[in-house]
């Protein structure tokens, strides 16, 4: 069995009793950093000394097959340095290989920087998307943000302290200077900080330097004001240009957020007059 085990994102007191129980009996631990895993075992008072296998971004594809075969006979506990494995951390390729090989995979729920940042942000939580780390290169970063400019859901990003100022500046440029942003720094740790403001305000703040583990929560794009009559005219224009009515209604529906069936029916009624 492959066991994905969530570990504390900062405060060791957030470790679950189940995590301690599983680590106390684990024969094998695949860890993003074996030194971090050893410190975790010591910090939790776990006396068990499992076989430690490094599983990180650079070797996961090569190691996945070996770990899957080991997991056929005994439990393999997977640890990232913090939080849940596979979430912007190693583990996905291992789970993919295990699923293909018919080897069981389970998870020990626990701390999550994504959900913690979302919860304390004060931004809508009913619908959200996790975008991980933005690209390192400025052009690619701007392109990625530009593609998200119309995203209506709250967005959660991870970012490094070295790039947070550049990323916030890019957010102000591509998403709008007034877009609401929350920077969550050192969550659950002694110097936890949650700073709210506009993208422009936080870009100026970050220019002075920011330290620690960082999650950024960004408000979704505001709802667009759509004129139904204008949308209907768009549908009819597409039909006049040769597009099937069904396809025209679907295209305009996707662009405006208006109901596809409503647009289709309105176009039929207009044509029947």
Is the four-CA dihedral 77, 82, 87, 92 of positive or negative sign? negative
State pLDDT tens for residues 203-250. Answer: 999 999 999 999 999 999 987 767 888 889 999 999 889 999 999 999
Q: Which helix (H) or strand (E) holds 266?
A: helix 260-272
Does 273 have pLDDT greater than 60?
A: no
Which residue carries 């998307």 as its tokens? 129
Of 62, 106, 104, 71, the residue nearest 85 (C-alpha): 106
Cα gap 222→203, rounded to integer Å:
21
272 pLDDT band (50/70/90 cuts)? low
SS3 198: strand
Residue 54 pLDDT: 97
pTM for the predicted model, two decimal places: 0.80
Q: Please, where are the H alpha helices in 72-198? A: 92-101, 113-121, 138-147, 164-175
Q: Would you give the distance in Å from CA 254 to the centre of its chain?
A: 24
- Residue 79: closest CA among 41, 127, 129: 41
Which 3 state secondary structure label does DSSP give 51? strand
Task: Using DSSP, state whether 173 is helix, strand or coil.
Answer: helix
What is the spatial distance between Cα 240 and Cα 155, in angstroms, rounded to a whole number?
Answer: 38
Sheet holding 214-218, edge to edge: 128-133, 154-159, 214-218, 180-185, 193-198
Task: Look up residue 252 and give its two tokens.
Answer: 């305009």
For position 269, what pLDDT does the model report? 84
How far, CA to CA in Å, does 207 sit from each of 26, 133, 160, 210, 256? 45, 19, 13, 8, 37
Does the pLDDT of residue 80 top 80, yes or no? yes
Q: Are 34 and 40 in contact (CB under 8 A)?
A: no
**CB proximity list for 62: less than 8 A, separation 6 or greater:** none
Q: What is the pLDDT of residue 166?
A: 97
The DSSP secondary-structure symbol of 119 reads H
**How does pLDDT run across 87-119, given as a tens digit for each residue?**
999 999 999 999 999 999 999 999 999 999 999
Q: Are 170 and 145 in contact (CB under 8 A)?
A: yes
Q: In sequence order, what are the beta bridge partners of 4?
A: 78, 107
Contact criterion met (CB below 8 Å) for 129 and 153: yes
Contacts of 166 (CB under 8 A, 6+ apart): 138, 141
């Amino acid at each position: 069995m492959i066991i994905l085990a969530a570990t504390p994102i900062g405060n060791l007191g957030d470790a679950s009793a189940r995590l301690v129980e599983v680590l106390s009996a684990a024969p094998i631990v695949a860890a993003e950093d074996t030194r971090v895993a050893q410190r975790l075992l010591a910090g939790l008072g776990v006396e068990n000394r499992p076989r430690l296998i490094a599983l990180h971004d650079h070797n996961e594809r090569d190691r996945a097959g070996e770990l899957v075969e080991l997991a056929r006979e005994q439990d393999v506990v997977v640890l990232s340095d913090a939080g849940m494995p596979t979430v912007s951390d190693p583990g996905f390729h291992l789970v993919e290989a295990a699923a293909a090989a018919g080897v069981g995979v389970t998870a020990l729920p626990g701390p999550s920087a994504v959900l913690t940042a979302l919860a304390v942000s004060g931004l809508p939580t009913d619908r959200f998307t996790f975008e991980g780390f933005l690209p390192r290169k400025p052009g690619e970063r701007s392109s990625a943000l530009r593609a998200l400019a119309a995203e209506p859901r709250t967005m959660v990003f991870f970012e490094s302290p070295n790039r947070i100022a550049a990323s916030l500046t890019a957010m102000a440029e591509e998403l709008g200077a007034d877009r609401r942003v929350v920077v969550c720094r050192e969550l659950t740790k002694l110097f936890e900080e949650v700073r709210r403001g506009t993208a422009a305000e936080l870009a100026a703040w970050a220019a002075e330097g920011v330290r620690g583990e960082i999650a950024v929560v960004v408000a979704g794009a505001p709802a667009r004001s759509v004129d139904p009559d204008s949308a209907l005219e768009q549908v009819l224009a597409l039909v006049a240009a040769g597009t099937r009515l069904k396809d025209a209604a679907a295209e305009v529906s996707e662009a405006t957020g208006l109901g596809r069936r409503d647009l289709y029916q309105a176009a039929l009624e207009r044509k029947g007059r």
